[in-house]
């Protein structure tokens, strides 16, 4: 018989966490990543956030202490339209933000995989890594979109390291496709 993953349930269960989340449906943006080849820069996130403003939904910014400054800078011009959780939440609290989001936008990160596990609508962003290298969101379902870089230097590595002499493939991510994918997912009334 052997191991059959489809026959088992792998749903991550969260302990009770008290964390103030937006009261209305929101979009979670995962700013961090273990390597530069998995992270967008400030300008790219600003452009994505500007495009998402058309949906008039609050934004929740997720990341570790390394992203706290960027999260704060991204939160400022939007006033109450964004909540910065970068560097102020535990991983479990971050999971709660992800688990309750109407949409998650993330690079190839642990939070991306958590979004897939929680069956959240997901847009995954791929630069130095590629979903075909074995790290695609799992389980896979119809509310997921993968946006791949247009860089000829991708994939570079399985884990996202970019050599110092090579341009970061995330700089060639087609950001307009991120907004189009968000529109497609958010306008689908059958989403969970």
And the tokens for 19? Answer: 């964390």
* 5 located within any domain: no
CATH number at residue 88: 3.40.50.2000
Question: Which domain covers residue 179, as residue numbers?
Answer: 19-187
And the tokens for 30? Answer: 């995962």
The pLDDT tens digits for 51-98 are: 999 999 999 999 999 999 999 999 887 554 789 999 999 999 999 999
Do the Cβ atoms of 26 and 49 come closer than 8 Å?
A: no
* 7 located within any domain: no
The pLDDT tens digits for 11-61 are: 666 667 677 888 889 999 999 888 877 889 999 999 999 999 999 999 999
Q: Domain count for the chain, please give it.
A: 1
* 67 located within any domain: yes
Place of tokens 């119809």: 142
Residues 48-69: b if buried by 16+ CB within 10 A, e if exposed? bbebbeebebbbbbbbbeebbe
* 2 located within any domain: no
* 192 located within any domain: no
Q: What is the pLDDT of residue 50?
A: 92
Contacts of 64 (CB under 8 A, 6+ apart): 32, 86, 87
* 14 located within any domain: no
* 105 located within any domain: yes
Residue 107 pLDDT grade (very low, low, confident, very high; cuts 50, 70, 90):
very high
Prediction pTM value: 0.86
* 4 located within any domain: no
């Amino acid at each position: 018989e052997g191991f059959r993953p489809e026959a088992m349930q792998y749903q991550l269960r969260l302990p009770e966490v008290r964390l103030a989340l937006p009261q209305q449906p929101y979009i979670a943006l995962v700013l961090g990543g273990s390597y530069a080849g998995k992270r967008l820069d400030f300008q790219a996130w600003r452009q994505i956030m500007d495009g998402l403003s058309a949906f008039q939904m609050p934004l929740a910014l997720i990341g570790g202490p390394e992203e706290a400054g960027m999260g704060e800078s991204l939160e400022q011009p939007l006033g109450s339209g964004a909540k910065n959780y970068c560097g102020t939440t535990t991983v479990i609290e971050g999971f709660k933000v992800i688990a309750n989001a109407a949409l998650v936008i993330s690079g190839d990160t642990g939070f991306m995989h958590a979004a897939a596990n929680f069956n959240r609508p997901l847009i995954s962003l791929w630069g130095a890594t590629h979903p075909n290298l074995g790290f695609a969101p799992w389980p896979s379902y119809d509310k997921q979109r993968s946006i791949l870089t247009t860089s000829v230097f991708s994939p570079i590595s399985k884990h996202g390291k970019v050599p110092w002499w090579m341009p970061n493939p995330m700089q060639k991510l087609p950001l307009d496709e991120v907004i189009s994918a968000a529109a497609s997912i958010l306008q689908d009334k059958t989403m969970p």
